């Protein structure tokens, strides 16, 4: 599902392309009774939780709505804050802080 944020302050900018307003919200089954909900950058496909799935939002049903989307964006922010800007190999792409 495509999520468009009206205000750039809600999400950290994507380290790959700088996007902070348009995301692709994903929901995948991660267990018998659990789904992971996370966002990817809609511009370049970057996902800071790819190497750190513990930073994805867990939900029993896996529904994508306003609440779970904002929680997934909060997880995006936490993953970028915690791990910096890593690519799939765990290397730092760029650090702007």
Residue-wise pLDDT for 9-52, tens only, equals 899 999 888 999 999 999 999 988 899 999 999 999 999 998 88
Domain regions of the chain by residue span: 2-83
The C-alpha atoms of residue 28 and residue 39 are separated, in whole angstroms, by 11
Tell me, what's the pLDDT at 84? 67
Are residues 88 and 53 in contact, defined by beta-carbon separation less than 8 angstroms?
Answer: no
Are residues 18 and 81 in contact, defined by beta-carbon separation less than 8 angstroms?
Answer: no
Does the model's pTM come out above 0.75? yes
Tell me, what's the pLDDT at 88? 56
Residue indicated by tokens 């996902």:
47
Q: With bands split at pLDDT 50, 70 and 90, how would you rate the model's confidence at 89? A: low
């Amino acid at each position: 599902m495509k999520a468009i944020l009206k205000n750039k302050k809600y999400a950290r900018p994507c380290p790959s392309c700088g996007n902070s307003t348009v995301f692709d919200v994903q929901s995948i089954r991660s267990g018998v009774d659990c789904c992971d909900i996370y966002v990817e950058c809609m511009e370049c496909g970057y996902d800071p939780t790819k190497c750190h799935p513990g930073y994805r939002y867990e939900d029993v049903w896996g529904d994508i709505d306003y609440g779970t989307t904002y929680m997934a964006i909060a997880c995006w922010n936490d993953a970028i804050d915690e791990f910096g800007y890593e690519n799939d190999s765990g290397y730092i792409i760029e650090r702007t802080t």
